Structure 1
Amino acid sequence: MEYKSTYAQDDDYDSYDCVKHLHYNSDSSTALPFLYFRNIRYLEYLPIYQENLCPNIRTDLLTSFFVYLYDFAFKYQVQVLIDRSPLLYSLQLRTDRNPLSLFDEFTSKSIRQLDLHSPHACWNEQYCTTFSHTSLGLQCEVLTIAVENRTAILCLVNSMKNLRALTVFSRDDPWKMKLDYEQFPLEEDMHIKWLQRQLPSTCTISRVKSLPNKIRLWIQ
């Protein structure tokens, strides 16, 4: 377990109200019987054992949740935590397998931002279409993801009715290995030019300067 606090004398208190960021795995629960976290805004969670998040950790103020789910058998714990977090806006999910099956079961009334980018899970058009009809896919406004090809990008934009911003890595992008985007003029970026031809002019498309192998789309 790791946590960040802004209070100099936290060691003198059982309740760590100044802690806003917490990294937690199931193995941490033995260290928490007398520690209370009531103001967590950001939580990193690695479920190792099939037990729910320690009740000493309050999540009613949680807005951002990062989970590494290496075993889908632990998906129940993730949903329980989501249910305990009425203000949760952002969910980042990392897994060694394609997480699409999880979204048939994960539900939340508050989540609007999803980060599903993983080198192990580049989604094709069928996956994108299926995801867009799930509960979280229907309400998602901000999405980060990796796809097999640029046609899958069109599928996401056209089928996710509430999507406003999309950051995407496309496996068929010929510029995906370029490290310094500034060296290459925009007119040579055929991947973006193709997307511009296929999408409405109200859609703004550009490279992410810090990560030029990703494309960002603003959808109006």
Structure 2
Amino acid sequence: NEHQWYIRCHWYTLDEKIDLFNFIDVFTVPYSFDRFYEDNICLLAKSTVQYDKEYLQCPCITTLNYGSSSFTDPIRSRFRFNNIEHLSLSLPFNENFFFIVSKFVRLRSLFVYTDTNKNLNNIQFQLQLILDQAPRLYSLEFTTWSRSDSESPFEGLRSVSVRRLDLIRFNFNDQVYHFDEKECIELSRSFLGIQCEVLIITVKNQRNILTLLNNMPNLRSLYVHSLDHYWPENGSVSSAMDGLVQWLRQQLPPTCAVTKDENDSFGIHLWIR
């Protein structure tokens, strides 16, 4: 009390039906860590603050993982995160989301995935609501995505600030998505593709790389996997990637730098100057 330090205690469980997976989290309030991971069920909360509504504000939290069923219990549904910079978000999100995260002005990176056990008809609309409120959002990463109204995954999505797209683990409508010639053209003509400066992607073959470079006017950095080099018919993966680097250097002007990734056997870096 001398320092006005208060604590809060949460009793969590991984499964309400099994008592073996219970644990307790004790922390000072206001919450002073920069990350908050919401993966478990909160059964009970106690605090040394008599009226701790203001301490449920979490201004220090800049990184948040929000699952499709997150913050649904009566305790944590009262948390508020208004300074989020990095958000991992499962779509569709529940009705509590905009109460818990009501401001996106600081948001810089957004990682999106879908919960296939939920109704996915509204996820495009939900994502666009966030994009419209995030003027500083730079990086947008997808793993799973779905839509029934279009064969083009990004048609209609708009953001004034996104310059980085990460699609290397992209799964669209329950199919692993390796961008072919047509899909590379569609991406380059989309709103997100036109203004994209940094792209991380998997393509069907090496010529698709040239398609992206020739059709994305603002692209300055490309990190790519080429599916046709995953299983080389002759020789090792390393020699196949050496051949791809050499081929790209022959096709591209000297203002483009091409290198292999030292930590990823299939990764190629390209810088456009």
Report the counterpart of residue 30 of structure 2 in structure 1: 10
Equivalent residue letter for 2:30: D
Q: Distance in 2 between matches of 1:70 and 1:27?
A: 10
Q: 1:152 and 2:208 equivalent?
A: yes
Deviation digits for residues 70-106 of structure 1 (CA, Å, limit 9, x no counterpart) = 5552222111111121110100011166996231111
The answer on whether the counterparts of 1:97 and 1:121 sit within 8 Å (CA) in structure 2 is no
Aligned alpha-carbon RMSD (Å)? 2.7
Report the counterpart of residue 177 of structure 2 in structure 1: 121
Alignment length, in residue pairs?
209
- Summarize the alignment of residues 55-204 of structure 1 with structure 2, pairs less than 5 Å apart: 55-57=99-101, 58-70=103-115, 72-73=120-121, 74-95=123-144, 101-118=152-169, 120-173=176-229, 189-204=242-257
Q: Distance in 2 between matches of 1:197 and 1:84?
A: 43
- Counterpart selection for 1:44 from 77, 85, 88: 88
- TM-score for the superposition, normalised by structure 2: 0.69
What is the DSSP-based 3-state SS (H/G/I as helix, E as strand, rest coil) of the residue aligned with 2:153?
A: helix
The answer on whether the counterparts of 1:178 and 1:212 sit within 8 Å (CA) in structure 2 is no
What is the DSSP-based 3-state SS (H/G/I as helix, E as strand, rest coil) of the residue aligned with 2:267?
A: strand
**Structure 1: 5+ residue runs without aligned partners?**
1-6
Structure (1/2) with the larger strand percentage:
2
What is the DSSP-based 3-state SS (H/G/I as helix, E as strand, rest coil) of the residue aligned with 1:162?
A: coil
Report the counterpart of residue 19 of structure 1 in structure 2: 61
The structure whose Rg is larger is: 2
Equivalent residue letter for 2:69: D
Structure (1/2) with the larger helix percentage:
1
Q: Distance in 2 between matches of 1:46 and 1:167?
A: 25
**Structure 2: 5+ residue runs without aligned partners?**
1-26, 32-51, 171-175
Identity of aligned residues (%): 35
What is the DSSP-based 3-state SS (H/G/I as helix, E as strand, rest coil) of the residue aligned with 1:101?
A: coil
Q: Which has the higher contact order (CA 8 A, sep 6+)?
A: 1
Q: Name which of structure 1's ranges 113-122 and 124-133 shifts more when overlaid on structure 2.
A: 113-122
The answer on whether the counterparts of 1:53 and 1:77 sit within 8 Å (CA) in structure 2 is no
Deviation digits for residues 132-184 of structure 1 (CA, Å, limit 9, x no counterpart) = 011110000000000000000000001000000000000112678968x6xx6
- TM-score for the superposition, normalised by structure 1: 0.84
Report the counterpart of residue 214 of structure 1 in structure 2: 267
